[in-house]
Amino acid sequence: MILSATISERLYRAFIYDDRYKLYFQGLGNTLLIALLATLIGVAIGVVLAMINYVSKKTGKLKVLSTISKTYIMIIRGTPVVLQLFIMYFVVLASSDNGIFIGALTFGLNSGAYVAEIVRAGFESVDYGQMEAGRSLGMSTSQTMIKVVTPQAVRNVLPPLFNEFITLVKETAIVGYVGILDLGKVPGIIQSRTFDYLFPL
């Protein structure tokens, strides 16, 4: 029946019948929301970790925090994000029924480790003389980082951060494994109803 159906009939069943197009909009909204929230969380975590590692390397301070930061980055980058999602969804936040929040938090924690390395590289691209100049003017280390080093590093990290957002959008497809409706899960739902595996894609 599917083979003999016209293209218009197959499109109708895939998108129009039973308002199935709304599933695509809902999935797209969830995908973008998770990616956006994860980016915000990841950038916040990444900037803090990068500052800790940079200051520790250049001044010898914050060694304990730097060790914790490096351990976090190593563990997060060294384990599959799908494993992290399962742990967050079925163990850490098993009592929560907000899948969007769990997905965003998981991807945010994961992204934070990668953003930390992106931002650290941005800090490293700024000549250390800038840090010394700020300190010679009487600024504290934190003031120098915020007012002198960070503004110069921002322009170097924006392109990689945009790439990280694109990566997050693509990675969110795995949230369907824990029952969250995203853009990648919608075609499977419609395919199971129409038995047409081409047009829902």
More confident call, 113 vs 194: 113
User: Position of tokens 């047409």?
Assistant: 196
pTM of the model: 0.78
Domain boundary assignment for the chain:
36-181
70 in Cβ contact with 150 (< 8 Å): no
Of the candidate ranges 3-17, 50-64, 103-117, 176-190, the one whose mean pLDDT is the lowest: 3-17
Q: Is 182 exposed, middle or buried (0-12, 13-18, 19+ CB in 10 A)?
A: buried
**Most confident of the following: 91-100, 107-116, 138-147, 182-191:** 107-116
Confidence at residue 136, expressed as pLDDT on a 0 to 100 scale: 80
Average pLDDT over residues 42-65: 86
What residues contact residue 7 under an 8 Å CB cut-off, 6+ apart? none
DSSP 177: G
Confidence at residue 13, expressed as pLDDT on a 0 to 100 scale: 67
Confidence at residue 1, expressed as pLDDT on a 0 to 100 scale: 46
User: Which CATH homologous superfamily contains domain 36-181?
Assistant: MetI-like (1.10.3720.10)
Alpha carbons 27 and 147: distance in angstroms, whole number:
41
**Most confident of the following: 20-24, 106-110, 138-142, 193-197:** 106-110
User: Position of tokens 């995908």?
Assistant: 31
Confidence at residue 140, expressed as pLDDT on a 0 to 100 scale: 79
pLDDT at 66 over 70: yes
Confidence at residue 2, expressed as pLDDT on a 0 to 100 scale: 47
Which amino acid, residue 134? G
More confident call, 183 vs 176: 176
**33: helix, coil or strand?**
helix
Confidence at residue 196, expressed as pLDDT on a 0 to 100 scale: 58
H/E stretch holding 46: helix 21-59
